[in-house]
Structure 1
Amino acid sequence: MNNNRIFYLDIAKGFLILLLLVSHFGIVVRESKINVEESYFAGIYFFHPLFTTFFMQCFFLISGYCSNFNHTAKVFFYKQLKEIIVPSIFLGAINGLYHYIYGSEHQFYVETFWFLNSLFCGKVFCWIVNKLKIEVTLYFLISFLLFLLGITLNNYDIGENIFSIRQCLTSGLFVAMGMFFKKNLYIHNYLMKYSWCLYVIIFSIIYTFNQESRVPIIDGTFHKFSFYKTPLVVIISIIGSFTIFRICQIIGRFHVIEFFGRNSLIIYCIHLIPFLYIIQLTSQIFLPHNILTGTIFYLVALAMEIITMTIIIKLFNYPLLRICIGKW
């Protein structure tokens, strides 16, 4: 099970991080201030809800599944120092320097690191739960109440969202799910086998009634949504995640995608800066004037971004820079 888990989850992380680039295309186009109608990219944006509605929660679920919460406090927090805190500080400094130089023009980086803050909080929550040997029903109840608290703080703008505390409160539920599925393989395997069916049904209904833009999303911007939609967030996060896992199992070993999966942290933290310049450069060569040329523009920019991120990943895997991203 361990070897199988590693290969399909690495591939899943690879696909998810590439989907992150896809989802951030619109943000970077707006930040680049190029003279182009966003309607030219409507053909691409139309499909975004198929993954943006759950893919960040999928990362949390993977982390909960792969993490060892039986470690002592010393070992556990040392791993978090290596895997989250050190990369966050170093890569955050790069983003911070860029923001300091171009801060009057580009504000997007401020929301970038919400995921790392949330991941750290979610993992600490699950480690505490595991150490205290809290029953499954109780820790799911606690994590769900924290999830609702995060949504409440966001909906009513209660306090400042310092260190992305609202997203942090929602993350523990999905990390806890990953931990739960790892211990309950029967449920895990059942979801692997049948989740895609429910995924197809739910999104068929959503798109049939043109509700794709109204599906709630928990991400860096964290738009407000009604409490009655909360079950939909949880259900889509679970079935969407297991649909991705199932697809990756069927695909089998895919070393290029696994490469991106193993280096997803670098892509997550750095991708916006080169993407901005790539789109500005591409716009100097040609500007789209309809949906067809908009799609071509998007594909060219995305391909260049993937190539650029591959080079950056290679650079960060040299001995000295490996230390800066917690690989020692």
Structure 2
Amino acid sequence: MIEKDFIPSAYNHTITEGKVSYKSPSNIALVKYWGKKENQLPQNPSISFTLDACATTTKISFKRLNKPSEEYSFDLLFEGNSKEDFKPKIKIFFTRIEVYLPFLKEYHFTIETSNSFPHSSGIASSASGMSALALCLVALEKQLNPEMSDDFFTKKVSFLARLGSGSACRSIEGDIVQWGNHENTEGSSDLFGIKYPYKVHDNFKRFHDTILLVDKGQKQVSSTVGHNLMHNHPFATQRFKQAHENLDKLIAVFESGDLKEFIAIVESEALTLHAMMMTSMPNFILMKPNTLEIINKIWEFREKSNSNVCFTLDAGANVHVLYPENEKDVVFQFIKDELIGYCENQQYICDRIGFGAKQLKMNA
């Protein structure tokens, strides 16, 4: 598919008012997306586990205006309170997607959104938030065009979510989603995420992710700034090549169930992401001392116990501790005994692989 495929022709239905609500999860990348081209297109492909507990719930109430507005007409409530400082990001998003959703200035929207995790927790909410919003808007479009297929609906939501936050395109489905052109992945695209199309061993079916909140402060560098630092980065070309190679390796790993090789790839990807930030200009060190303490503790525990626990990182100090279902009791005891002391206020979030967004029933 190409971008113009998502531009609709005239709608064959009219909707005066209504409501729609979706719950959409966050995700954690195994092969990292870092560096983007114009229009939120990735410099390299990525793949992620869809999460379950860390999610955003968004409800949109919409009412058709007497005549189209010159500006986008919407109110925004975050966890029940007006949130004016979120509005500029929504306006930017609407501006990017209006060509694909030409009805946006024909309605007034009341957008009510909330997270299952504290907004100040240091967990990125852009993936879950933008995917939930995109789902609601395309659900309205499906009412205007009921002939829209389920497959096209999913692709369009992912396509639009990407224009709000790149990683949001990986939150629509589960349990493993790939985004970005990759010559050895059938159906892969820079435009939207796809459900991973190949065999996945049972070892990876019920993975757990305990998120250790090392630093709940505001991000030291925004994702947009971080991605832009990949332009003219001295190691960018090799990094993009590495991502393709690691995706090739994961195809074999997911099929065979090789947990040791999985660990090697995932931890290398996490450390490479931070290495790219440390060697950019300007440069940033996003890990905190306690991040390093946790990593070393995980390595020590894995060595002495022969466990298959591993870590990954986003562009920040928090640590995602990944482990298979059959080790959950032993690993979680280790986390409680040895790791949560390194978390801010001993806070952590227990999560696991999930299966994508869900539409919520609306009360009449």
TM-score by length of 1: 0.29
In proportion to residue count, which structure has more strand? 2
Query: Max radius of gyration: which structure?
Result: 2
